[in-house]
Amino acid sequence: MQNLWDRIFRANKEEESLSAFLQRIAVFSHLKKRDFNYLKTLLHTRTYEPGEIVFEQGDPGSGMYIIRSGYVTLFTRDQFKRREDLSVLGPGDFFGETTIATPAARVISASCNENCELAGLFRSDLIAIAERHPVIANRILLGLTSVISERLQNAILELRKQQTTNGAS
């Protein structure tokens, strides 16, 4: 009988912690607390093993992944299939968000460095949210736009800095 109660209370605790976890993700910063109960019903959580590929460069993209636990390396491959690591992301980070609004081929690859739990939010989920709860969808899109804008501005500044450094050499 104790196992039954453990499972019941553990499941509720995990759901609560998923909502609390999502509240710390920048893309969802415009959501109201009550919106997270609906959002978590649409997320697809999955565990990955060390070395497992989440997606490869060139794969069709249809959504984003949020790292709940573990570390993921983003990388590219050159024409000779040599791997070049770009970044290592950890809990609370997310990736693949550029394909959630517009499906496109992935321009990078992602692999898990260790056991990982990822939560996926895909374009079809966003469309479902827009149809059923347009206000929530607008809040998510506003958060997504803010994040992408900030990342684009940072990339432009970094390119300018590199151009200045290369021009001075």
- Predicted local confidence at residue 75, as pLDDT: 95
pLDDT tens per residue across all 169 residues of the chain: 555 555 555 444 444 478 889 999 999 999 998 999 899 889 999 999 999 999 999 999 999 999 999 999 999 998 898 999 999 999 999 999 988 888 899 999 999 999 999 999 999 999 999 999 999 999 999 999 999 899 889 889 988 988 888 876 5
CA distance 5 to 12: 11
Contact in structure between 143 and 26 (CB atoms under 8 Å)? yes
Contact in structure between 105 and 58 (CB atoms under 8 Å)? yes
CATH architecture of 2-168: Sandwich (2.60)
- Looking at the DSSP assignment, which residues form a beta bridge with residue 95? 65
Q: Which of 164, 146, 99 is nearest to 125 (CA)?
A: 99
Q: Which of 152, 128, 131, 129 is nearest to 140 (CA)?
A: 129
- Looking at the DSSP assignment, which residues form a beta bridge with residue 46? 118
Contact in structure between 160 and 138 (CB atoms under 8 Å)? no
Q: What type of residue is 6? A: D
Q: Where are the alpha helices (DSSP H) in the chain?
A: 2-22, 35-42, 123-132, 134-168
**pTM confidence score:** 0.82
CA distance 56 to 75: 9
Q: At what angle do helices 123-132 and 134-168 cross, to 10 degrees?
A: 140
